């Protein structure tokens, strides 16, 4: 019975405030001189390749996992001769209510918070050939 109620609430958008709703992940190109190539995916969904002009943004929605708390999306980022990747949405790490906003800079992604930036290192650096 409880599972039926939880599933019903999830399909109704979680409006009762019990279940987590979808989270919007927003990525902004804050590189000073370059377009940014972005390719995001999780283990089941490939969101395709996007090109962001300087100052441009791209967003997508993710559904946090109610039971396992393990939703994970990662993105490849590239410009000129640089290529990097980062776990752009990690349900265990990210405490976003409805939006996770990331500014992408050359040294790594920075999560935009209400009054600060929380900057991270790239997962690893891949030199483009």
Q: pLDDT digits over 57-85, tens only? A: 999 999 988 888 789 999 999 999 899 99
Q: Are strands 72-79 and 82-90 parallel, antiparallel or unpaired?
A: antiparallel
* Residues of the chain with confidence (pLDDT) below 50: 2-16
Specify the pLDDT at position 125. 58
Specify the pLDDT at position 70. 87
Q: Residue 25 forms beta bridges with which residues?
A: 60, 100
The CA distance from 25 to 42, in Å, is: 13
Specify the pLDDT at position 62. 93
Specify the pLDDT at position 53. 98
Is 0.85 topped by the overall pTM?
no
Specify the pLDDT at position 114. 85
Q: Is 114 helix (H, G, I), strand (E, B) or coil?
A: coil
Specify the pLDDT at position 15. 45
CB contact at 8 A, 21 and 14? yes
The CA distance from 70 to 113, in Å, is: 22
């Amino acid at each position: 019975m409880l599972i039926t109620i939880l599933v019903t609430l999830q399909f109704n958008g979680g409006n009762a405030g019990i279940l987590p709703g979808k989270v919007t992940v927003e990525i902004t190109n804050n590189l000073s001189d370059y377009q940014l190539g972005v390719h995001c995916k999780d283990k089941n969904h490939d969101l395709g390749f996007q090109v962001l002009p300087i100052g441009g943004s791209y967003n997508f929605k993710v559904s946090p996992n109610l039971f396992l708390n393990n939703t994970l999306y990662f993105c490849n980022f590239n410009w000129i001769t640089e290529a990097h990747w980062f776990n752009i949405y990690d349900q265990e790490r990210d405490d976003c209510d409805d939006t996770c906003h990331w500014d992408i800079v050359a040294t790594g992604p920075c999560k935009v918070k209400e009054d600060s930036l929380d900057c991270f290192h790239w997962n690893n650096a891949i030199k483009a050939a």
